[in-house]
Amino acid sequence: MLQKIGGWRLFDVLVRPAQWIYRVITLRILLVAIVLFGIYKADAWFLTSGRPIIRDAVIMWLADKMAGGNMPLRVCDAQFSEGREDCDLIYSRSDQFDPGAQWGLVTNSPYLTDWTTKILANFTTENIIWGRVRGPLMVAFIPRYDPSSFHVSGQTDCSSFATINERHITFESWNDEKDIISTLTHELIHYQLGNFCVDPRPLPETCVFVNDASGKRVGVACKPFTALKRMEVEQWFMDSSVWVESHTESATIEILAAMCRRNGGRGIECRAFWNSLGGMARGSLYSELKLAGLGFIYEPIRDVLVYNKAETVVADKSFHDYSQYGEEGIAEFDGIVYRYRYIPWNRYVVPGIISWVPLDTGNRRPMEGRVWVVMGMLFDDTRLMLGPLGRAFLWAMTP
């Protein structure tokens, strides 16, 4: 029973203050605990997901500054350009120049012959292939008549032709010499075989390649060919394309860096290098933000840091080609960026820069006797291009 003391109940004098003190203390402890937990959580997030996001945003921005704006080529029609000296590039469409005057190459633009002969020798010095490099029989600009016209930059079969999408010279928003040089370098690297042309991993069990009479691969046969087997084979081909393209695109960056340094650290090769590096970091940033559930901030970041208005409109239009099919189309687009940008950047290029991890070329070099060693391509020129500060930044920001 409670007693009254001078008008105050004992409860008010003793118990209530004690209760308040107790409440305030527990509230403080709770608040501190929440803040500490928040910092811990944010820290853990920053260390694993946040760091690469900031890393790639900074690299994207820096590379864009180093690459500079578009470098459009003045294109002249071969039929009318005789004697003209204000053309950067002469183009003869479906007609061809005399291969006898083009180092044996079939081409519709001597510009491509010149660059092909300049690029090829680098593949030996950069440890992509041992001995003689392999080159195409034909290198040409071609128009494409399907939707790939808007997305595919170049194509090759690793044995006879290398083509560059004609849009690179006939379409204003595509006309940028940096892109032409890096696309041509990429296609020519495919020719060096190894991991740049075929996936060495075996087909799904019970499946074999089918060749035609000339030995060219024409398909795959499995026994029995069930629906599940078909899915496995489709997955194998998708992984195989990622394998080949990731190796090729990573090597392209190092070759451009090597060509830039051979030219004294100046010229179009350097700008093509930064353009390719920035493009990879941008794709990686896109994938990382999507994975972290922050996909909606990608476009504002990109538009503030690197894109001008026209580039945003072009990117929107390209994205529409996928997004018009709803979630499924967007997932396809995300998958493409993840496989062809995020994977090569995070699996090969960044480890190559910060930890000297060589790129496995899949090609071999003879040693004494009958011993062969697999050739690894170092990212040594790329490392030098980034400088000590760039390398330290990449190292510190990579989980």
Least spacing, CB of residue 355 vs Zn ion, in Å: 26
Q: Between residues 76 and 184, which has the closer beta carbon with respect to Zn ion?
A: 184
Q: How is residue 40 written in tokens?
A: 């811990």
Pick the closer one to Zn ion by CB: 122 or 163: 163
Residues 75, 169 contacting (CB under 8 angstroms): yes
Q: 62 vs 119, which CB is nearer to Zn ion? A: 119
Comparison of 102 and 275: residue with beta carbon closer to Zn ion: 275
- DSSP string covering 316-347: HHHHHHHHTTHHHHHHHHHHHHIIIIIHIIII
CA distances from 226 to 5, 209, 223 (A): 91, 16, 8
Nearer to Zn ion (CB atom), residue 162 or residue 259: 162
- Binding residues with Zn ion: total (CB under 5 A): 1
| In the complex, least distance from residue 250 CB atom to Zn ion, rounded to whole angstroms | 11
Shortest distance, position 317 Cβ to Zn ion, whole Å: 23
For the bound state, the minimum distance from the C-beta of residue 265 to Zn ion, rounded and expressed in Å, comes to: 27
The pair of structure tokens assigned to 302 is 């990109």
CB 251, min distance to Zn ion, A: 11
Which one-letter amino acid corresponds to residue 75? V
Taking the complex as a whole, the smallest distance from the CB of residue 154 to Zn ion amounts, in Å, to 7
Binding mask 189-228 for Zn ion (x = CB under 5 A): ----------------------------------------
In the shown chain, the binding pattern of residues 238 to 267 toward Zn ion, with x for contact by CB under 5 A and - for none, equals: -------x----------------------
User: Angle at Cα 27 formed by Cα 22 and Cα 28, nearest 5°?
Assistant: 100
Cis peptide before 224 (omega within 30 of 0): yes
- Measured from the CB of residue 70, what is the shortest distance to Zn ion in angstroms? 23
Degrees, nearest 5: CA angle 371-125-136 = 95
Which lies closer to Zn ion via its Cβ, residue 186 or residue 302? Answer: 186
**Minimum distance between the CB of residue 196 and Zn ion, rounded to whole angstroms?**
9
Between residue 88 and residue 147, which ones bind Zn ion under the rule CB under 5 A? Answer: none
Query: Cβ 204 to Zn ion, closest distance in Å?
Result: 24
CB of 133 to Zn ion, least distance (A): 17
Annotate each residue in 21-60 with x if it binds Zn ion (CB under 5 A) or - if it does not, as one string. Answer: ----------------------------------------
CB-wise, 251 or 386, nearer to Zn ion? 251
> What DSSP character marks residue 137?
S
CB burial class (10 A; 0-12, 13-18, 19+) of residue 21? exposed
DSSP 209-266: EEE-TTS-EEEEEESS--HHHHHHHHHHHHHHHHHHHHHHHHHHHHHHHHHHHHTTS-
Whichever of 61 and 174 has its CB closer to Zn ion, that residue is 174
Residue closer to Zn ion by CB (options 154, 352) is: 154
| Interface pattern 272-311 for Zn ion (x via CB under 5 A) | ----------------------------------------
Closer Cβ to Zn ion, 245 or 334, answer by number: 245
- Rounded to an integer, what distance in angstroms lies between the CA atom of residue 167 and that of residue 144? 9
Euclidean distance between CA atoms 47 and 68, whole angstroms: 32
Q: Can you tell me the distance from the alpha carbon of 352 to that of 123, in angstroms, rounded to the nearest whole number?
A: 17
> Whole-angstrom Cα distance, residue 257 to residue 238?
29
CA neighbor of 256 nearest in space, from 184, 353, 340:
184
Say which DSSP state 34 is in: H
Token pair belonging to 182: 């890096």
Residues lying near Zn ion in the complex (CB under 5 A): 245
